[in-house]
């Protein structure tokens, strides 16, 4: 399945597992909601692992960008702590 996303497969598996858990806990809506969230995470993880096997250049550039954004957030949090003393 080169060039295709695994997100749909992950969501389908997550909904199936979540529906089973929801029926077991007698709360189907919550089970399906949790299943969709788990399914999205599974689909994204499967796509990410597929990208690493095909070419590591794409994964390295994506992680470098997220680290840069994290550093910017850390700096803004430190500046907000000094206000409101009076």
Give residue-wise pLDDT tens across range 17-29: 999 999 999 999 9
Q: How long a stretch of residues is the chain?
A: 86
Q: Cα(17)–Cα(38) distance, rounded to whole angstroms?
A: 9
Please indicate whether residue 81 or residue 35 has the higher confidence score (pLDDT).
35
DSSP secondary structure letter of residue 65: H
State how far the alpha carbon of 39 is from the alpha carbons of 17, 18, 76, 81, 86, in Å: 9, 9, 33, 38, 48
Q: For 45-85, how does the pLDDT look when each residue is reduced to its tens digit (9 = 90+)?
A: 988 987 776 554 444 444 444 444 444 545 555 555 555 65
Question: What is the model's pLDDT at position 35?
Answer: 94
pTM of the entire structure? 0.54
């Amino acid at each position: 399945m080169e060039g295709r996303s695994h997100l749909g497969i992950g969501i389908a598996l997550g909904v199936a597992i979540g529906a089973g858990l929801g029926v077991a806990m007698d709360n189907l809506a919550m089970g399906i909601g949790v299943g969709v969230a788990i399914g999205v995470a599974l689909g994204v993880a499967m796509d990410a692992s597929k990208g690493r096997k095909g070419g590591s250049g794409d994964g390295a550039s994506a992680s470098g960008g997220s680290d840069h954004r994290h550093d910017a957030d850390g700096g803004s949090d430190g500046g907000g702590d000094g206000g409101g003393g009076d």
